[in-house]
Amino acid sequence: MAKGYWICFYRSISNPDALAEYAKLAGPAIQNGGGRFLGRGMPSKTYEAGKNLRTVVIEFESVQKATTTFESPAYQAACRVLDGSAERDIRIIEGLA
């Protein structure tokens, strides 16, 4: 089975305090869902049309596990804390087998 990857780009953050509170809830919810953080932070380098956006990459054993974690009550509670405080672009993709 191919792994699943949850990739998030933060287009803007208007309330850093809300982001910090979100992280306190989201991190454990993601890890409890089997997620493993592979990278997070600002890009070291961008190319072509790349934008200098905070990026988070999380690995799961499958797309289904990533999706289930995103839709879980624990993660959605974290999202409510962040609501209106950041604009994000989140994608879940299947890894190469």
Its pTM stands at 0.93
Query: Using an 8 Å Cβ cutoff, are 58 and 35 in contact?
Result: yes
For the chain, how many residues are written? 97
C-alpha dist (Å) from residue 1 to 13, 64, 96: 35, 11, 9
Q: Provide the residue-wise pLDDT of the chain in tens; the chain has 97 residues.
A: 899 999 999 999 999 999 999 999 999 999 999 999 999 999 999 999 989 999 999 999 999 999 999 999 999 999 999 999 999 999 999 999 7
Query: 92, 88, 28: which is closest to 65 by C-alpha?
Result: 92
**pLDDT for 50:** 87
Domains of the chain, start order: 8-44+51-94 (3.30.70.100)
